[in-house]
Chains A and B, each alone.
Chain A
Amino acid sequence: MIEFREVSYSVSGVQVLTGLNLRVAPGETLVLLGRSGSGKTTTLKLVNRLLIQSAGQIMVHGRRNDLVDVIQLRRGIGYVIQEVGLFPHFTVAQNVGLVPKIEGWAEERSRMRVKEMLQLVGLGEEFAARYPRQLSGGQRQRVGVARALAADPAILLMDEPFGALDPLTRDELQREFLSLQQRLQKTVVFVTHDLREALRLGTRIALMEAGKLVTVLTPHEFLKSTDPWASAYVRAFGDGLQSAAIRGVS
């Protein structure tokens, strides 16, 4: 579905990404895990050409993504970001229905689609006429997901979509994401720095460090991995739980 072939990206002399080789299979949720500056967001943005690689090729649907029309490419890929980026002057319905509208769908069909999408992300019809500023953070991100899914793209790119939410809302949205993904079977590339999220949502986890892909593992393999970077994540995660437990005792 998506394939990176020897992809590098550098900007003003700084090498951000080096020699990336990675395949994302149809219907899987590939999590890019890494710390800030490891190149995971860059990797994501190369897929829909918000950034252009300096070397290598990226195949999307079996075609080089730099040889297809960029607008058509992007309309076939859902994009969800942490800041959501809803259009503040559009209602929820207008936000969700924008891509169908500019794709020239009939009004009735778009309207049905918007309704369907809101339902899908667990928002009642009463939200359709609201403006983004009238929503909570969690509701906003639901709209963000609904908007990304509106034109029924096969691929979904998600850049720390739940990163700015409180833990309870995040948990709720992660759970919904899983059940949604079970039904829809999109090809998802999901960026996060949160190991718990990666283990929970990913079918595979691609660990990145300093612009390089360290390893790609299933969540199960990840927990048992002897790779120094992977085990460092698991250790940091475990330490967090442990120290919380210790403080609980004392």
Chain B
Amino acid sequence: MNVIRFLLQNRTELLESTGQHLWLVGWSTVFAMLIGIPLGILIAHRRQLNQPVLAVANIIQTIPSLALFGFLLPMPWLGERADRLAILALTLYALLPIIRNTYSGIISVDPAVVEAGRGMGLTEAQLLFQVELPLAVSVILSGVRVAVVISVGLATIAAAIGAGGLGEFIFRGLAMIDNRVILAGAIPAAGLALLADLGVGWVERRLRPR
């Protein structure tokens, strides 16, 4: 009850933080898709690249998030604004699931289908956009789904470098040793993750080939 009252009392600030949170997650997801999907396609077609690319993405994933935010702090241009930094860090974390799922989505397309398409005289671009991507789309989007859910959680840590978001409440609550304040950040963050999961899941079902 206390938590709800606290949430209501601070609704303006809460809305603002939620907005910041979505801003961080939204942009980082867009960037991660713009980088990750082409990279996934590339390593699916040039198999010799898949080891190194996935290895780098894996290593990034293993860096503790707080440390990564810290590492990025001294960077020029980026370091000037905390939200840019946070978006960069979140983008890096979101890459692995997106690259990996794009890769496995495309390599799991039936080779007979690809060969038939090539034999019929489809260009490589037609093969990619009309055959491989439509058939891989649900696997790719489930990667995006994982990435978004991870990002919503990780974005709370962005508050540590002053990028705002729902983490503000969590860190403040930790400092004040006040569970109400922690929950005021944690509950909406969990809700956001859930909504994002449902949202991408819905898009996935709409785009899935019948």
Contacts and interface: CB of A to CB of B under 8 A. Distances in A.
A190 interface: no
Interface stretch (B19-27, B115-123, B181-189): B115-123
Contact of B115 (A50, A76, A144): A50
A85 B115 contact: yes
A76 B119 CA distance: 10
A81 B112 contact: yes
A74 B119 CA distance: 6
B158 interface: no
Given A85-B110, A85-B112, A88-B135, A79 B120 contact: yes
Given A83-B112, A86-B113, A50 B118 contact: yes
Contact of A99 (B115, B120, B123): B120
A168 interface: no
Interface in B182-210: 209-210
A84 interface: yes
B108 interface: no
A85 B123 contact: no
A89 interface: yes
- Decide if the interface of chain B is mainly helix, strand, loop or mixed: helix
A77 B209 CA distance: 28
Contacts of B210: 89, 131
A102 B126 contact: yes
Interface in A30-78: 48, 50, 71-77
B119 A72 contact: no
B134 interface: yes
Contact of A71 (B112, B113, B121): B121
A186 interface: no
Contacts of B115: 50, 81, 85
B131 interface: yes
Nearest to B135: A89
Contacts of A193: none
A105 interface: no
Contacts of A131: 210
B123 to A, nearest CB: 6
B116 A86 contact: yes
B121 A81 contact: no
A210 interface: no
Interface string A134-155: 0000000000100110000000
A4 to B, nearest CB: 18
B123 A84 contact: no
A123 interface: no
Nearest to A69: B121
A99 B121 contact: yes
A98 interface: yes
Contacts of B122: 71, 98, 102
A87 interface: yes
A75 B112 contact: no
Given A85-B110, A88-B135, A79 B119 contact: yes
B116 A84 contact: yes
B121 to A, nearest CB: 3
A76 B121 CA distance: 8
Contacts of B114: 85
A148 B114 CA distance: 15
A74 B131 CA distance: 17
Given A71-B121, A76-B121, A84-B116, 18 more contacts: A50-B115, A50-B119, A71-B122, A74-B119, A77-B119, A81-B116, A83-B116, A85-B117, A86-B113, A87-B113, A88-B135, A88-B209, A89-B135, A89-B210, A99-B120, A102-B121, A131-B210, A148-B120
Of all A-B residue pairs in the complex, the 5 with the closest CB atoms, nearest first, are A85-B116, A89-B209, A74-B121, A83-B112, A79-B119
